[in-house]
Amino acid sequence: MGDSIKQHYIPQCYLSNFSCDGKAIWVYNKKERKAYLTSIDKIFQKKHWYRIPDELIPEQDKDIINPLSIEKDFFADQVESQFNHYLKSLVCNIDELLQDESNFQNYNCRLHEDYVDEFSMQIAIQFFRTPKARQEVMGIISDLAEKFQMTDSKYMDNEIIAELNKPHIQNPTIAHFWTIFANDKFIPGITEILKGKIWLTCVSSNVPFYTSDSPVSVENMYNMPNDTDISLNRIGSIITYPITSKILFKLLDREYYTDMANEDRNIILVNDEYVKKENMRQFSIAQNEIVSPINNFDDCIHYGKKD
């Protein structure tokens, strides 16, 4: 059985939409403050990121459980194959609109609800798929375990205690997958929340959108006392996700942005200044790397020099 060592937390089918030719991509490294050209298979991946450790697979199940099943059976076969299908369809539709930019002038172009349904799920999955999200999840599990240890056991649910003491919950790969993706309520619940947002599809015909190692950004008007860094349901939130170098989704809290309700699902053509503003948003939220189909990182370099 072949072993996949480099495993992506941002899909290559997504990254190919920010590449020069489907394979090569420009990267700006914030820490090193330099740009370079590389291939999409070399970025936004970690060694054995999804691999189930052999020692956590019971001996009697080793012929049944594939150590690569999280990556291959779940992400590759279930998530990314469907994502790729809808991405290709959306790109074709937007490219057709761009053949005549007057299509955008009357705001009659609207995103079909099938795209809203699919990309709501994909945004939820991508947001919780990054190393930052895994770190947050492990922090929450650690805090829970610590609080339970400090509580008199006679007041605790024995099933919860037993679950927290299982070896797999201490393993970041398994704990991350088990609490977020194998949970049959978590991602579907977030998906339903995102479907209820006001969706704007922003299209650029000139300057390409960046994406980054943290592509889904959340900007909110209020910081709630019990809010976490991995929340997609903040009051007054604006969720931004560049889906290709030409297309960016912006999701607005329907209850807060009531004046934007009539704009829901509109597809709009945006100017270069708008794109540059969104690109700097990606620069600011990126953990370290921003990518683009061209070497257009002058604003990043200038911004980096001020830090």
| Dist CA 178 CA 50 (whole Å) | 12
Query: Minimum mean pLDDT among 80-94, 103-117, 120-134, 254-268: which range?
Result: 103-117
248: three-class secondary structure by DSSP: strand
Percent of all residues in the chain with a pLDDT value above 70, rounded to a whole number? 84
In this predicted structure, the answer to whether residue 212 has a pLDDT above a threshold of 90 is yes
What does the pLDDT read at residue 167?
A: 52
C-alpha distances out from residue 304 to 130, 214, 307, Å? 23, 18, 5
Q: Mean of the pLDDT values across residues 131-148?
A: 78
126: three-class secondary structure by DSSP: helix
Of 224 and 117, more confident: 117
| Dist CA 39 CA 69 (whole Å) | 25
Query: Minimum mean pLDDT among 43-47, 55-59, 253-257: which range?
Result: 55-59
Which 3-state string (H, E, C) describes 168-207?
Answer: HHHCHHHHHHHHHHCCCCHHHHHHHHHHCCEEEEEECCCC
Take residue 47 and report the two structure tokens written for it. 């060694």
Take residue 145 and report the two structure tokens written for it. 């375990």
For residue 190, being part of any structural domain is answered with no
In this predicted structure, the answer to whether residue 227 has a pLDDT above a threshold of 50 is no
What does the pLDDT read at residue 303?
A: 67
Take residue 146 and report the two structure tokens written for it. 């610590």
User: What's the one-letter identity of residue 300?
Assistant: C
For residue 158, being part of any structural domain is answered with no
For residue 82, being part of any structural domain is answered with yes
Query: Minimum mean pLDDT among 65-69, 169-173, 271-275: which range?
Result: 169-173
Phi/psi at 12 (5° precision): -70, -30
Count of structural domains within the chain: 1
Per-chain mean pLDDT for the chain: 87
In this predicted structure, the answer to whether residue 223 has a pLDDT above a threshold of 80 is no
User: Residue 122, class by beta-carbon neighbours within 10 Å (0-12 exposed, 13-18 middle, 19+ buried)?
Assistant: buried
For residue 136, being part of any structural domain is answered with no
What does the pLDDT read at residue 228?
A: 46
- For residue 195, the Cα-to-chain-centroid distance in whole angstroms is 16
Q: Which residues contact 127 (CB under 8 A, 6 or more apart)?
A: 133, 216, 218, 230, 232
For residue 14, being part of any structural domain is answered with yes
For residue 125, being part of any structural domain is answered with no
CA nearest to 214, candidates 136, 127, 296: 127
For residue 41, being part of any structural domain is answered with yes
Q: Mean of the pLDDT values across residues 120-144?
A: 90
Structural domain containing residue 255? 6-112+196-306
Cβ atoms 141, 179 nearer than 8 A = yes
| Dist CA 257 CA 259 (whole Å) | 5
| Dist CA 25 CA 15 (whole Å) | 8
Confidence class of residue 300 from pLDDT cuts 50, 70 and 90? Answer: confident
What does the pLDDT read at residue 106?
A: 62
Query: Minimum mean pLDDT among 84-88, 149-153, 207-211, 287-291: which range?
Result: 149-153
Of 224 and 235, more confident: 235
For residue 222, being part of any structural domain is answered with yes
